[in-house]
Amino acid sequence: LTIGTRGSALALWQARHVASLIEKKYPSAEVELITIKTTGDKILEAPLARIGEKGLFTKEIEEALLDYRVDLAVHSMKDLPTDLPQGLQLTAVIEREDPRDAFISRDGTRLEHLKKGATVGTSSLRRRAFLLNRFPGLDVVSVRGNVETRLRKIHSEDLAGVILASAGITRMGFSDRITQYVESELMIPAIGQGALGIETRVDDTAVNETVAFLNHAKSRACVDAERAFLRRMGGGCAVPMAAYAIADGDAMTITAAVIHPDGTPAIREKLSAPISDTSVGRRLADILIERGAAAIAREVLGPDWKPGL
């Protein structure tokens, strides 16, 4: 089996993790990693929201899948667009790790204790909007690069700290650097954050059957509900939005928000449903749209914005 992956240290860790799970399940399997440079890897200076293109970290890998250069792809679910190319499918979502964001401070100061004007770095418009909503006195700047690069920039760019996904920090062995986990009451995680997805060709029965064991039903249901919210909101990263679903037995509760890039206004709501009803994400999006999310989207994207299907 050949796995298509980005070449960053974190992406390679994730692909190797999937390879090890496959090899453990099938001792005779031989798994090879094929590294592929994506558009998002090539453009490192501009903020992601400014680039505006969907599939920044997945398009070239999906092309390799369609061209039969790789058998499957491993993605961070938060990077995977809701609309996949014809002929490809999301075959499995691996059991989700901690989806929260984490703050790594230069000197151990927590977010709520930072002084007015303190500079915090993040690559995410969502994180920036949530920070400004709760701490309007902070100076939030764009910081791109892999985990190690962003950690180095705390000192090289004289930052009070940076915010990253806690799952990525933990996978790379830097959990001891975390100053605080940012709870969802303050910052709702990105759609799919903490989960890994396996993308394959629809008609590749052998590969699909081989990787089916990797799918974790509850993680898949929660991620599908979050992605239903994202699809209805039109996707993209130019408008800060977030959704986080939690499974509790046979029930699921999803919390979502749409926020102006400046931090206000912010529209937030939650909804519960049976875990089998992943369309709850779409219904929650409709509630937010009616409560003001549409106005935020049209202000940011223009008057022609419309909800997704």
- The residues annotated as belonging to the active site are 79
Rg (the chain; Cα; Å): 19
Measured CA to CA, the distance from residue 127 to residue 234 in angstroms comes to: 19
Instruction: Give the N- to C-terminal CA distance of the chain in Å, as an integer.
Output: 35
Please give the distance of CA 217 from its chain centroid, rounded to a whole number.
Answer: 19
Tokens describing residue 40:
């998002």
Alpha helices of the chain — where are they, by DSSP H?
9-25, 39-42, 48-51, 59-66, 125-134, 147-156, 166-171, 205-211, 217-232, 280-288, 294-301
Contact call for residues 110 and 179 (beta carbons, < 8 A) = yes
For residue 251 the two structure tokens come to: 């029930």
Identify whether the C-beta of residue 79 lies closer than 8 Å to the C-beta of residue 56.
yes
Cis status of the peptide bond prior to 265, with omega within 30 of 0: yes
User: Which tokens hold the place of 250?
Assistant: 């046979």
